[in-house]
């Protein structure tokens, strides 16, 4: 006595199945030649164009540097986005401020908003609170209250603010 009696397809069942299949075209029949020679040539052409955009082309130092900077910026942007996302939750103030600083610099494209000096790097690139932190503590993390300044312009602004006080 076998259990699951009736599950094994009987000879009758198999015959019915094959009858049902007969006369139907396989789904992929004839598909091998659906593309014309012309279409195939076009496809391979496109493929060649797409892959090695700079293959064999001399890449100037300037271009290389641009690519490097772009990659770096993309990296920073991704990190910043993550930081800003996290900053919405519970995180230390210093991390929130870091995210704010990163955001301001990237948004201003590392360009001084006062003198227009571009490509600011390192210590020369500073994120400033337009309305000072001391006077407007509620605007410390306000992205609209940030501007990128070069070291010189930031120094000038800070001295002015101190003089007023």
Residue ranges in contact with Zn ion by CB under 5 A: 112, 114-115, 117, 150, 153
Shortest spacing between CB 76 and Zn ion, in angstroms: 21
Q: Would you say 132 or 147 has its CB closer to Zn ion?
A: 147
CA-nearest of 48, 142, 38 to 96 is 142
Q: Would you say 91 or 115 has its CB closer to Zn ion?
A: 115
Shortest spacing between CB 123 and Zn ion, in angstroms: 13
Shortest spacing between CB 142 and Zn ion, in angstroms: 22
Shortest spacing between CB 98 and Zn ion, in angstroms: 22
Q: Would you say 9 or 155 has its CB closer to Zn ion?
A: 155
Q: How far is CA 104 from CA 44, 68, 100, 148, in A?
A: 45, 21, 6, 6
Q: Would you say 15 or 159 has its CB closer to Zn ion?
A: 159
Shortest spacing between CB 74 and Zn ion, in angstroms: 25
Q: Would you say 83 or 129 has its CB closer to Zn ion?
A: 129
Distance of alpha carbon 85 from alpha carbon 2, whole angstroms? 62
* Residue 127 near residue 104, CB atoms below 8 Å: yes
Distance of alpha carbon 84 from alpha carbon 95, whole angstroms? 9
Q: Torsion angle of alpha carbons 148, 151, 153, 156, nearest 10°?
A: 130
Distance of alpha carbon 72 from alpha carbon 68, whole angstroms? 6
């Amino acid at each position: 006595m076998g259990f699951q009696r009736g599950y094994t397809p009987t000879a009758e069942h198999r015959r019915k199945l094959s009858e049902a299949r007969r006369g139907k075209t396989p789904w992929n029949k004839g598909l091998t030649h659906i593309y014309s020679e012309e279409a195939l040539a076009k496809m391979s052409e496109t493929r060649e164009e797409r892959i090695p955009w700079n293959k064999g082309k001399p890449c100037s130092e300037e271009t290389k540097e641009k690519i490097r900077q772009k990659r770096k910026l993309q990296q920073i942007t991704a990190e910043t986005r993550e930081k800003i996302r996290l900053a919405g939750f519970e995180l230390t103030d210093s991390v929130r401020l870091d995210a704010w600083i990163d955001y301001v610099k990237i948004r201003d494209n590392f360009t001084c908003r006062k003198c227009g000096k571009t490509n600011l790097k390192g210590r020369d690139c500073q994120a400033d609170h337009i309305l000072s932190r001391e006077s407007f503590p509620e605007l410390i993390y306000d992205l609209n209250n940030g501007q990128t300044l070069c070291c010189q312009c930031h120094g000038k602004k800070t001295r002015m603010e101190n003089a007023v006080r």
